[in-house]
Amino acid sequence: MKTLDLSLLWPLFALQGLLAVIGLVSLARARSVRGPKWMWVIIILLGNLLGSLVYFTIGRKE
């Protein structure tokens, strides 16, 4: 069994975390989004990469 090399894995988790944080900041500062804001908080936090992606591409109003 390979040992999990954390030095290579943590950047992946850090980037996913960063994406979620950008999503939440953008959500907090947005005046209005499609659908209720709390729904997007859940989607961003639980949806991983896909959740943030969905928020950025269809949740935001431009």
Tell me the residue type at 34.
R
Min dist CB 12 to another protein, Å, is 6
Which residues within the stretch 3-62 sit at the binding site for another protein (CB under 8 A)?
4, 8-9, 11-12, 15-16, 18-19, 22-23, 25-26, 31, 49, 52-53, 56-58, 60, 62
Q: Tell me which amino acid residue 32 is.
A: S
Rounded to a whole number of angstroms, the minimum distance from the CB of residue 1 to another protein is: 7
Residue 47 makes CB contacts below 8 A (sequence gap 6+) with 54, 55
Tell the smallest beta-carbon distance from residue 2 to another protein (Å).
7
Contact predicate 58/34, CB 8 Å:
yes
